[in-house]
Amino acid sequence: MELRLTLDDDLVKEMMAKTGSSKATELTKEALTMMHWAIDEVAAGRVILSTDHKGGSVQRLAMPALNKAASLVKGR
């Protein structure tokens, strides 16, 4: 499938620099892969968390699309 997106140039360049991606297409594929995984996780009733290297400072990933995916599974 071909997608055409309009994204903030500075945001994409920043993410490409932070990941070492040489192409926006490569970065987009990686981002969609991660989103696919995240949707599967919340659909399975899991919560996605981030911590510092010692396991402290826990942060929960919150995104409208993930909340909707979790709600759709609960509604089945």
Residues 6 or more apart whose Cβ sits within 8 Å of residue 51? 57, 58, 59
Q: Name which of 45, 44, 38 is nearest 64 in CA terms.
A: 38
Would 2 be classed as within a structural domain?
A: no
Would 3 be classed as within a structural domain?
A: no
Would 4 be classed as within a structural domain?
A: no
Would 44 be classed as within a structural domain?
A: yes
The string of pLDDT tens digits covering residues 8-27 is 999 999 999 999 999 999 99
Predicted TM-score of the model (pTM)? 0.83
Could you list the residue range(s) of the whole structural domain that residue 65 is in?
Answer: 9-74
Total domains, the chain: 1
Average pLDDT of span 33-45 = 95
| Token pair belonging to 51 | 């911590």
Q: How far apart are CA 39 and CA 37, in angstroms?
A: 5
> Would the pLDDT of 66 be above 90?
yes
